[in-house]
Amino acid sequence: MSIKIGFICTGNSARSQIAEGFGKYYAKKLDKDVEIYSAGSKPSGYVHPLAVEVMKEKGIDISKNKSKSLEDIPLNELDYVITLCGDAAENCPVIPNANTIHWGLPDPAKAEGSKEEKLKTFRQIRDEIEKRVREFIEGI
């Protein structure tokens, strides 16, 4: 029986989408029997274009992903819920019956400045998420 992992944040436009992309990539690469989901407590309705761009740099295409709500995933079947909310103003949902892990990461979608400055922020968050997701999947 596969292990089900949900990456949850507020908007499901950047951090949780990046985590879902890496989760699926590493599950396949490491031949792990896991199902990966992502969702937001208040879905933005889109996947951030810079999240798509920085994931393409890693050879992972999330351009066809959709911003999903908690109701769009099998919430009550999840074995692990990993919340990625970072800012105190954000509300990370609590999911009963799952092992909850919190990775407090800043929201790259809130980055300001030029496109290059925003991309730098997205890359930093992407690289941190990749490291954490890889280690988590390896440990399953």
Q: What is the mean pLDDT of residues 93-116?
A: 89
Q: How far apart are CA 78 and CA 90, in angstroms?
A: 22
- Give the whole-number percent of the chain exceeding pLDDT 90: 84
Q: What are the boundaries of each domain within the chain?
A: 3-138
Q: Are 39 and 6 in contact (CB under 8 A)?
A: yes
Average pLDDT along the chain: 93
Q: How far apart are CA 90 and CA 93, in angstroms?
A: 10
Active-site amino acid positions: 9, 85, 92
Q: How far apart are CA 69 and CA 76, in angstroms?
A: 14
Give the pLDDT confidence of 72-101 residue by residue, as tens digits: 999 989 999 999 987 544 566 677 788 999
Q: What is the mean pLDDT of residues 27-37?
A: 97
Q: How far apart are CA 66 and CA 129, in angstroms?
A: 19
Q: Does domain 3-138 have CATH number 3.40.50.2300?
A: yes
pLDDT reading at 26 higher than 50: yes
Say what the pLDDT of residue 48 is.
98
